[in-house]
């Protein structure tokens, strides 16, 4: 499950993974170039087709509404979603959390309904994150920790954050600026530095690039391996 502030690049990350795996740019998860309010309001699961085989890759992304200060999804709803109580298609209400009598409330979640990996999507410009949002993100993180769910952060929009990376994405692990950003995310949110993946999403490209794919797929690999460990250990 992906969560994070609006405009962080959650939907773009899902599209980027699909693009990298399919070998061509796709944009199934709707993104929004005009920031501010959350564009994604429904709890939606995304599966990715494996070529023309009629099968899917064995993982599912869930994209949730942004976590803005007053308008964003309730932290309580994210906790319910983690436990598998929120059914696909539920329309998040910023003012009240999902109640047990709602038709989208799943009373008896199976292992498949639960979240196996929690991914916080943070825009490279984290300095612009308000303390209130950071508090909400941290609250989700601590809830996941209490439930023993593996957690990652992806630091998106790194091309906008660092001119060196914008010039050549292969500079990602040479950039002093990004190193400082990762330390900052780690310090503010509490993620260990090796759980923070820098990623540039496909956002305006027409073709895919190996170097962009590399970052997207190494983040994905980390998530899948941890998710598998989590499920196997249950
Ligand atoms: N330059 C750049 N733009 C990005 C990146 N990721 C997302 N965007 C853009 O940021 C905007 C918001 O992205 P979106 O995926 O809708 O964010 P969401 O609200 O978290 O789902 C869109 O216009 C994207 O094209 C990135 O890595 N680099
Ligand atoms: Mg979105």
Domains of the chain: 2-233 (3.40.50.300)
Nearest CA to ligand 1 atom 27: 157
Calpha distance 12→29 (Å, rounded): 7
| Confidence (pLDDT) at 29 | 75
Ligand 1 atom nearest to 121, measured from its CA = 20
Can you read off the two tokens belonging to residue 201? 């999403």
Cβ < 6 A, ligand 1 pocket: 6-12, 31-33, 39-40, 66, 121, 156-157, 159-160, 200-201, 203
Residue 5 pLDDT > 60: yes
What's the Cα-to-Cα distance from 114 to each of 18, 82, 106, 117, 230, rounded to whole Å? 22, 6, 11, 9, 11
3-class secondary structure, 44:
strand
Ligand 2 center to 13 CA (angstroms): 9
Residue 33 pLDDT > 80: no
**Cα–Cα–Cα angle for 144, 145, 148, nearest 5°?**
90
Average pLDDT taken over every residue of the chain: 89
- Non-local (6+) Cβ contacts of 18 within 8 A are 26, 28, 46, 48
Which pLDDT band, with edges at 50, 70 and 90, does 34 fall under? low
For residue 165, the ligand closest to its alpha carbon is 1
Using most ligand atoms within 8 A of CB, pick from 201, 202, 204, 212 the residue to mutate for ligand 1: 201
The pLDDT tens digits of the residues spanning 112-133 come to: 999 999 999 999 876 666 777 7
């Amino acid at each position: 499950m992906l969560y994070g502030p609006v405009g962080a690049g959650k939907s773009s990350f899902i599209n980027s993974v699909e693009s990298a795996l399919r070998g061509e740019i796709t944009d199934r998860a709707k993104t929004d170039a005009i920031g501010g309010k959350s564009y994604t309001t429904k709890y939606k699961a995304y599966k990715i087709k494996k070529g023309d085989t009629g099968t899917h890759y064995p993982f599912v992304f869930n994209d949730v509404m942004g976590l803005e200060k007053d308008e964003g999804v309730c932290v309580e709803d994210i906790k319910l979603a983690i436990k598998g109580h929120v059914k696909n298609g539920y329309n998040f209400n910023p003012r009240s959390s999902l109640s047990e009598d709602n038709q989208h409330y799943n009373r008896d979640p199976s292992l498949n309904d639960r979240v196996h990996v929690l991914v916080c999507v943070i825009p490279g410009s984290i300095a612009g994150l308000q303390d209130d949002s950071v508090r909400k993100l941290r609250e989700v993180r601590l809830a996941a920790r209490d439930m023993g769910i593996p957690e990652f952060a992806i630091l998106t929009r790194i091309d906008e954050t660092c001119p060196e990376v914008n010039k050549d994405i292969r500079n990602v692990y040479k950039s002093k600026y990004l190193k400082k950003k990762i330390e900052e995310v780690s310090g503010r949110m509490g993620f260990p530095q090796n759980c923070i993946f820098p990623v540039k999403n496909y956002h305006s490209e027409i073709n895919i690039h190996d170097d962009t794919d590399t970052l997207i797929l190494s983040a994905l690999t980390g998530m899948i391996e941890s998710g598998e460990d989590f499920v196997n250990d249950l």
